[in-house]
Amino acid sequence: MRYFRATVEYDGTDYYGFQVQPQHPTVQGVLEQVLHRLTGVEVRVLGAGRTDTGVHARGQVIAFRCPWRHRVVDLQNALNALLPESIAVRDVAEAPEDFHPRYSARSREYRYLVYNAAVRSPLRHRYALHVAEPLDVDKMNEAAALIVGVHDFATFGDPTSGESTVREVYRSEWHREHSDVIYIVEANGFLRRMVRTLVTAFLWVGQGRWTVADFQAAWAARDRKKAPPPAPPQGLCLWTVRY
């Protein structure tokens, strides 16, 4: 038995998230099925992040233990030969025994793509949220910059484990590239639906529905009822995991 880590990219549109669910297709489930076909044994795949239904990943990190007598590159090639077009293994390496894709991670970076144009783009609807109204990106950045540091994010998400809703955010900023408006956020961890809920809050600021002070008041309330609904999943991508 050898212990491997790998970086996986996937289009999450047709999956009910990363984590295995009974009766529903998931990314973890597909990976485990393919590894079983390759090795003949049941293989458990661990992931760095539990992406939600419809959320994509460019840099999801996984780890698994399986019998493999060939070169590491042959394992990558074999996986990609059997995986569907929506999932690809970008790299594979042997991992140290103490490596865990989730608990060893120092930070995770997510990106959210907004297509800000008067007319929707059918070629982008799987990967971006269409917003027709003009957006004040400067105001959005004013609000986004406030969350950098160690803060309680109880308004914007539910804890993934335990009761703590405190997280440390290292980077939070919006960038405009023509019609694309991209949110980049990096933190030591995220609450459930935290990124997508923050995205909606910042969009409300950019549309003039909220002021920056309104955002601060909702945040300070530590009350999920004060939060806007989470943004749709298709714009969100787990960009990279850092160790």
Residue among 52, 98, 136, 152 flagged as catalytic: 52
Paired with 52 in beta bridges are none
Give the tokens for residue 104.
């060893």
Distance CA 78, CA 53 (A): 27
Catalytic-residue membership of 98: no
Residues designated catalytic: 52
